[in-house]
């Protein structure tokens, strides 16, 4: 007797439907699972057998073969447990009708259902293929229900699933959550005293999606300003928010970020993070790293020069192409990685180069410290700002600065300015194709300034284009249709500090 049930796996951020076939034949009792599986799926033999028996169902004492098709697709994880159990029970002629229904859940030995990672991208895949219903553990129901056109059935026990499929006790479909979105996390920009130049750079970075480096002595407020950047960013569009939630679902991190959240993500990995933890990878099928968890949001690298150089070099392609492809012997997967890089660094090992306190580092230490961030990485950073030590008057005598909500209003207006130029205004001016960047309406005086200063700063082709993109963002913030000399001068100022 042969029967089947539909499950799903993931490759990168894409779901792959899997047909779970069960064949029961005469012979000595034996249970085999085939189809390019990992150890967790092989261990499903014991979990499924115990769950079926403890659920009150008869386990066939015959030769059972389960095939996960297509066989050439690598599969891993415990999410196939429920589909295997349903296929075996159907093959045993238990009167189960599973047509049009997919199953994604782990089984406990007592027949209860446990949640698994990656349900959201699986649900998106199954809905696109026309699957009508999806049975998941109750803990996964909220994220799966975010997908339109799919009836999500939350279950707590295998018995509930079987009774539903027999038409005896239907499971009530889950409904999407209310999506209670908290306000922007982190400090408000008004809490930062002084630092007008750095605040301006934060506004430009938020408006255009430009990468930013803050350099200054310890305690000058670099980290606080970087953590205030998300409060300047507008909410995500629903489709973009769903894509971000799918990445978090793969890593099982929806407890940190609500599935319905429209706020841009903010990730701040410690400098001891592994390379695979930063860009993605791991054992088996590759998992998304911090740069993908920061998709459509902000990646903050505090103490930039303390990160291993090899880790920073791995950011070259993602910073340019906004995606990362990880190749393994069994499969290659691609994760999106469109983020704003915000980095903070001390100017030298002791942290006081150029500060009134004085620097104790010798020339060799300064050269070695500066070499930790390579030229190609610096060339991909559009804005670099010096953050000086704050004085007593800045902290206790100055007036309160603009609130994040006020600055965010200007950022949203700038994004509206570019809505006619870009197919996706939320992507930012920093993502503008090079050909389009070179065709910006630029005043003759502005072009002459760019030509003279660019040669003096020895800008690369990428550098010229990035200066134009920053200038275009500055013009958008000012409400100007064209790029003027003042916008080019300000953009060159940030690039000039980088070359200094």
Number of H helices, E strands in the chain: 21, 18
pLDDT at position 499 is 43
| Mean pLDDT split into 10-residue runs, the chain, 500 residues | 93 92 94 93 95 94 95 92 96 85 97 96 94 96 92 97 93 75 70 89 95 92 93 92 93 86 94 95 86 96 94 94 86 91 94 82 90 92 91 71 91 86 70 80 90 88 91 93 92 70
Q: Could you tell me which of 174, 51, 173 has the C-alpha nearest to residue 106?
A: 51
Q: Could you tell me which of 381, 386, 319 has the C-alpha nearest to residue 346?
A: 386
pLDDT at position 498 is 45
Three-state DSSP at 456 gives helix
Cβ contact 70:77 at 8 Å: no
Cβ contact 38:44 at 8 Å: no
Please state, in angstroms and rounded to a whole number, the distance separating the CA atoms of residues 158 and 137: 10
> What are the structural domains, with CATH classification, of the chain?
2-165 (3.30.230.10), 189-424 (3.40.50.300), 432-500 (1.10.8)
pLDDT at position 399 is 65
Q: For the chain, first and last CA: distance in Å?
A: 76
pLDDT at position 80 is 97
For the whole model, what pTM was predicted? Answer: 0.89
Please state, in angstroms and rounded to a whole number, the distance separating the CA atoms of residues 487 and 177: 45
């Amino acid at each position: 007797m042969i029967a089947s049930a539909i499950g799903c796996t993931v490759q990168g951020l894409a779901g792959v439907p899997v047909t779970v076939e069960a064949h029961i034949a005469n012979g000595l009792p034996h249970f085999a699972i085939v189809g390019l599986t990992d150890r967790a799926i092989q261990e499903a033999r014991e979990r499924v057998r115990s769950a079926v028996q403890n659920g009150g169902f008869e386990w066939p004492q015959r030769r059972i073969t389960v095939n996960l098709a297509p066989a050439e697709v690598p599969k891993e994880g415990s999410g196939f447990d429920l589909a295997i159990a349903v296929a075996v029970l159907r093959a045993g002629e238990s009167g189960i009708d599973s047509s049009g229904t997919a199953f994604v859940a782990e089984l406990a030995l007592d027949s209860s259902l446990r949640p698994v990672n990656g349900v959201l991208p699986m649900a998106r895949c199954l809905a696109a293929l026309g699957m009508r219903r999806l049975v998941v553990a109750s803990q996964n129901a909220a994220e799966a229900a975010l997908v339109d056109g799919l009836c999500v059935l939350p279950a707590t026990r295998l018995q509930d699933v079987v009774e539903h499929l027999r038409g005896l006790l239907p499971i009530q479909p889950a409904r999407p959550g209310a999506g209670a979105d908290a306000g922007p996390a982190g400090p408000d920009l008004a809490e930062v005293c002084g630092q007008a130049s750095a605040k301006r750079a934060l506004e430009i970075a938020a408006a255009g999606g430009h990468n930013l480096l803050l350099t200054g002595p310890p305690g000058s407020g670099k980290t606080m300003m970087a953590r205030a950047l998300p409060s300047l960013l507008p909410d995500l569009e629903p489709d973009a928010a769903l894509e971000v939630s799918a990445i978090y679902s793969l890593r099982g991190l929806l407890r940190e970020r609500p599935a319905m959240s429209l706020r841009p993500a903010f990730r701040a990995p410690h400098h001891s993070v592994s390379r695979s933890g930063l860009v993605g990878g791991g054992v088996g099928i590759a998992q998304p790293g911090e740069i993908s968890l920061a998709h459509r949001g902000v990646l903050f690298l505090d103490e930039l020069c303390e990160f291993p150089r090899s880790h920073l070099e791995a950011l070259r392609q993602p910073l340019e192409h906004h995606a990362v492809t990880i190749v393994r012997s069994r499969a290659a997967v691609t994760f999106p990685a469109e983020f704003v890089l915000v980095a903070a660094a001390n100017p030298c090992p002791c942290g006081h180069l150029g500060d009134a306190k004085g620097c104790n580092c010798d020339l060799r230490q300064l050269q070695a410290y500066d070499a930790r961030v390579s030229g190609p990485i610096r060339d991909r950073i559009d804005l670099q700002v010096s953050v000086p030590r704050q004085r007593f008057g800045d902290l206790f005598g100055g007036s309160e600065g603009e609130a994040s909500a006020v600055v965010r209003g200007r950022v949203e207006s700038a994004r509206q300015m570019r809505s006619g130029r870009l197919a996706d205004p939320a992507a930012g001016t920093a993502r503008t194709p090079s050909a389009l960047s070179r065709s910006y309406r630029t005043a003759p005086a502005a072009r002459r300034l760019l030509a003279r200063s660019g040669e003096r700063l020895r800008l690369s082709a990428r550098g010229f284009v990035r200066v134009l993109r920053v200038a275009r963002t500055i013009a958008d913030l000012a409400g100007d249709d064209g790029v003027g000399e003042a916008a080019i001068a300000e953009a060159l100022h940030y690039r000039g500090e980088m070359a200094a």
